[in-house]
A = this chain, B = another copy of it.
């Protein structure tokens, strides 16, 4: 199946949704994206596994990155896509093939943006980190990801969400002593002892720090509990797995200290940590993004969930989340996207990418304008697509 990058964003989203691409099975969609981009003379295209990178190489003083994953969670009887008025239903409509459609439309139709652009279409975001295409690329070919600022096109309801909180999981273990339950006073019940761990969780008051002007909101939760030997045995161990979501003013090491300190009465084993990302909205490229793309939107808000913006932060690249999808519908069987939001997102990004002191003037755009008017109008020398 060949993608038609000249159709509008909503129709292109439907095309993308109708090529199923559950994590690990992105091959056909990656092939289609590669086939669509290779012929475009203004882009250098790279492929690594099922991850595609397409870059303009115009020697602009700034380079920005638009990144989106092409995989979805498992299909839930919600394919093929189905349009219903201003909504397009189907697996991946919000998370995040509508964002990918915007990337592809911009890649095809902005041959000479005011900023150099790197478009990243990557695999396996919805599964274990070690399979994540963006993580692999950041290790195997970091130069391909070089840039001044990144936009991760995860569903954000068309709002700009800055940075992301980190996440840490740890096991907190209450110990006891086994005994037969008929003589339970010979032992010490570890599950009963775990009430102290739960008391810490219930007494916890989340921090809500302001970081680079955005208000974060931490959280500390038990996400699992296990204990028990047999139906007639006083158990000697109860393990509570806690998940700490920490604001990006802490790094993972500091976050681990917070957890160890809260649960100082028990052994704590940190299972995994994913660093957060500061919003970095003070960076000039980010400030320009907020000023242009965010015009008329609500003020940027803090991203509370962990996203791949943290991978850009780890590379020293400030990044925001911004995409047309609705985050609350992600991973649901009833997933849909509001199609006007796709055009709105494309128009705002197009205006920002086109902007340059030297070569482009912005064309005001909005979702109510006909599609062709979304294009930036070149005012100086430049290559056009054939």
Contact across chains for A191 and B240 when beta carbons are under 8 A apart: yes
Of residues 157 to 194 in A, which have CB atoms within 8 Å of B's CB atoms?
165, 167, 169, 180-185, 189, 191-192, 194
Report whether B183 and A304 are in contact in the complex, using a CB–CB cutoff of 8 Å.
Answer: yes
- Please choose the segment from A17-25, A118-126, A228-236, A286-294 that sits at the chain B interface, where 4 or more of its residues have CB less than 8 A away: A228-236
Given B165, B183, B185, B223, which contacts A229 in the complex, CB threshold below 8 Å?
B223
Check A195 against B202 for contact (C-beta < 8 Å).
Answer: yes
**CA–CA, A233 to B226, complex, Å?**
16
Q: From the candidates B201, B219, B231, B304, name the one contacting A243 in the complex (CB within 8 A).
A: B231
Q: Contact between A228 and B219 (Cβ–Cβ < 8 Å)?
A: no
Closest 6 interchain pairs by CB? A224-B228, A195-B198, A191-B222, A182-B305, A184-B219, A182-B304
Taking the complex as formed, is A252 at the interface, i.e. its CB lies under 8 A from any CB of chain B? no
Q: For chain A, which range describes its interface: under 10, 10 to 19, 20 to 34, or 35 or more residues?
A: 35 or more
- State the CA gap A241–B189 with chains docked (Å): 13
Q: Is the CB of B184 within 8 A of A221?
A: yes
Residues of B contacting A238 with CB < 8 Å? 225
Query: A198-B198, A202-B195 given as contacts; is B222 within 8 A of A189 (CB)?
Result: yes
In the assembly, how many copies of this chain are there?
Answer: 2
Q: A167-B232, A224-B231, A228-B241 are in contact. List 6 more A-B contacts (CB 8 A).
A: A167-B181, A169-B231, A182-B219, A192-B202, A223-B234, A225-B225
Closest CB-CB distance, A350 to chain B, in whole Å? Answer: 31
B235 adjacent to A243 (CB under 8 Å)? no
On chain B, the residues within 8 Å of A195 by CB distance are 195, 198-199, 201-202
In the complex, whether A63 has a CB less than 8 A from a CB of chain B is no
| Chain B contacts for A223, CB-based, 8 A | 181, 191, 228-235
Contact partners of A169 in chain B: CB under 8 A: 231
A227 at the interface (CB under 8 A from B): yes
Q: Which residues of B contact A183 (CB under 8 A)?
A: 217, 219, 304-305
